[in-house]
Structure 1
Amino acid sequence: MSDIAGTVKRENAVGRLSAQEAAECAAYAEDYVGYLGIAKTERRAYAEAVRRIEAVGFRELSTFETLKPGDKVYRGYHGKTLMAAVIGQEPVANGINVIGGHTDAPRIDLKPVPICEKGGLAYFDTHYYGGIKKFHWLVHPLALYGVIVKPDGTKVEVAIGDEPGDPVFQITDILPHFGAEQSGKKVSEAFDPEDMDVLIGSAPEPGADKDVKETVKRNILRLLAERYGVTEEDFLSAELELVPAGMPRDLGLDRSMITGYGHDDRVCA
């Protein structure tokens, strides 16, 4: 069959690359995969972006007394939004070139008072952010990232789940042979977001009296106090997010693709 006049022929660009171009493309992609593994939240994306632009000569705007053509400047906002610029030769009135991107991605956020105990198990009470397919987040290992601000203003960075030996967290689901009712529902109705609590522990506080309630929750609070020096009240001034645990990987036997959390969102940044 002959081609239809006016249609666009789509070809795989990889086949047209020279050996040098293919090597440059692979190196760029490898660097991007490294960025993707670090930048799992907006705050981490911001910090990594600042590190990278400072390495090529950008400086914080407040360090300049005056600006001249060629100066590389940046300004951050609350550790989550970054603006960088190279000062041009012509007045701003003549126009500027702007490139924008976003670094947020669907995730599971902790509520302000998140730790609860139900049925002898401890959970994080959560709500989701972004357009998620809820069933994608069930029974997958999750990592916890974020910051807790203590009453004295001290910021405590939290990162649990991606380092070797770290524990992970999980949203549980009903077993298939008990899930006939769930299977008969529409996907949009089968998974209630209010049931997407994240399992974080099952061991009671060591030495707890049998009459003491919520000993599993008490044990979780004890562990958090030991590791981070925080209390339950400190969670009121925290920003904590759960994201899929694990690093981005090459996809396919030919390693021609990338799979990893946030890829669809952060590729634009």
Structure 2
Amino acid sequence: MSAAVHTQSEFNAGLLDFLRASPTPFHATRALAERLLAAGFELLHEGDSWLLEPGKRYLVTRNDSSLIAFVYGRSNLVDTGIRMLGAHTDSPCLKVKPRAELNRRGYFQLGVEVYGGALLAPWYDRDLSLAGRVTYRDEQQQIASTLVDFKRPVAVVPSLAIHLDREANSNRSINAQKDIVPLLLQLPAEEGSLPDFRSLLHAELQASQPQLAVSQVLDYEISLYDTQPPAIVGLEQDFIASARLDNLLSCYVGLQALLEADDQVSSLLICTDHEEVGSASCCGAKGPMLEQFLMRLLPETEARIRVIERSMMISADNAHGIHPNFMEKHDENHGPLLNHGPVIKVNSNQRYATTSETSAFFRMLCEAAEVPVQTFVARTDMGCGSTIGPVVASEVGVKTIDVGCPTFAMHSIRELAGVQDGWNLYRASVGFFRYTAAPMALSSAL
């Protein structure tokens, strides 16, 4: 089954479908896996014995929220290396606490924890829903997990009226413990028990997945998300507005590019969870998932090191476009524009993993694909975010470049990107996965 996209509009239509299907990292991983399986990838299980064969395509997941997809090329791995593209499945959000139920003056609310570096103000006055993973006991007393998505608006975080806070537009701070608690229900005036959130999840599963025969919900990992769907916006339809563009846009780019990979050489897509909180988990970039996959692929140490030396990783994560209202927040020579091409991200303190070699190779890919390319360097007097790039480079030893599509409002509940940039990064990534020589077989400077 071919899943090729041939036009920018076709690419963006698929992106919007993917974003709608992916309110949480669990759903994003499932959406990626469904598309890969439909394209002929074989699902592997980490607990099974593997016998990987050149010419085949494989897929493995971990924690339901991270994924590796691998095209095993027919050419010798030591000769060609592996083309790797990495992104992350998680985004800043509000996560429901384990004992979340609150009754405040007859209003049923859920206690939440802020996940990652979220911009909190945009969460006010949004039509919110709930989604995530639920772990339950079935009627045979077996423990299993499933995904849930309420889909409909079930919660809201109302703003405080300006009449009660006259400095709201000039001096309002947000206390994450008490000011951002979502409202779900007005309780009856008469005395009654507080709704149990696990019971609400049980009822939702019975309604949406009755075949599961859920006996008891034991625990959950549930997030709130905005039900406003992604959209192409602007007077001339220049922009994509959506939640979770950071970094599902890059996941989708990697997916579509891998589906176009050359079968003669080996290519790999890795999309990991927990980047927004440091990647330190069994399924995060600091965990052993990629290293363990490479060890199973290449058990012999010397061969594995030789392959890694000839390989390259593109760490794809969104970049900060220069905001027309806040231009002073950028270095004057490094302010990427939306719809002007993917951005190479550079930081001398290794917050990004880009080197002159990996940057030069990516520029060559963009030139061959007739894709414009930009550069981002943070202001010297400002801090700089990071990505999975330095993590993978240090953990695995693969030469890495950090790139991304320029965006506005990063870490907001609704971010903004250009309609051309994901398409252009996809075109460059297709060239990467079709590059038949070893990407990093370079002559030494010594």
Give the TM-score, by structure 1 length: 0.76
- Structure 1 CA distance, aligned partners of 2:232 and 2:168? 34
Structure 1 unaligned spans of 5+: 1-21
- Structure 2 CA distance, aligned partners of 1:24 and 1:64? 40
Aligned to 1:199: 183
Q: Residue 194 of structure 1 aligns to a residue in which SS?
A: coil
The structure 2 residue matched to 1:143, chosen from 129, 132, 135, is 129
User: What is the CA deviation profile of residues 62-98 of structure 1, one whole-angstrom value per residue up to 9, with x for unaligned ones?
Assistant: 5886332211011110111100111122135862211
Structure 1 residue 171 displacement after superposition: 1.1
The structure 1 residue matched to 2:42, chosen from 53, 59, 74, is 59
Structure 1 residue 194 displacement after superposition: 0.4
Q: Residue 98 of structure 1 aligns to a residue in which SS?
A: strand
- Structure 1 CA distance, aligned partners of 2:117 and 2:200? 33
Q: Does the CA-based 8 Å contact 2:102-2:110 persist in structure 1? A: yes
Aligned to 1:109: 95
The structure 1 residue matched to 2:109, chosen from 123, 147, 151, is 123
Q: Count how many residue pairs are aligned between Structure 1 and Structure 2.
A: 232
In the TM superposition, what are the counterparts of 1:5-84 in structure 2 within 5 Å? 24-62=7-45, 66-84=51-69
**Inter-CA distance 247–203: structure 2 relative to 1 (3 Å threshold):** same
Q: Residue 235 of structure 2 aligns to a residue in which SS?
A: coil
Structure 1 residue 179 displacement after superposition: 1.0
Q: Residue 55 of structure 2 aligns to a residue in which SS?
A: coil
- Structure 1 CA distance, aligned partners of 2:201 and 2:32? 30
Matched, 1:256 2:238: yes
**Inter-CA distance 26–224: structure 2 relative to 1 (3 Å threshold):** closer
User: What is the CA deviation profile of residues 199-256 of structure 1, one whole-angstrom value per residue up to 9, with x for unaligned ones?
Assistant: 0100329xxxx4x4xx37238776555444689x946x21000011121011113223
In the TM superposition, what are the counterparts of 1:207-226 in structure 2 within 5 Å? 210=190, 212=191, 215=192, 217-218=194-195, 226=203
Aligned to 1:8: none
Q: Does the CA-based 8 Å contact 2:153-2:227 persist in structure 1? A: no
Identity %: 22
Letter in 1 for 2:148: V
Q: Does the CA-based 8 Å contact 2:100-2:197 persist in structure 1? A: no
Q: Does the CA-based 8 Å contact 1:72-1:86 persist in structure 2? A: yes
Give the TM-score, by structure 2 length: 0.47
- Structure 2 CA distance, aligned partners of 1:49 and 1:39? 9
Letter in 1 for 2:131: Y
- Structure 1 CA distance, aligned partners of 2:128 and 2:198? 19
Aligned to 1:7: none
Letter in 1 for 2:44: L
Aligned to 1:159: 149
**Inter-CA distance 220–149: structure 2 relative to 1 (3 Å threshold):** closer
Matched, 1:178 2:164: yes
Structure 1 residue 157 displacement after superposition: 3.4
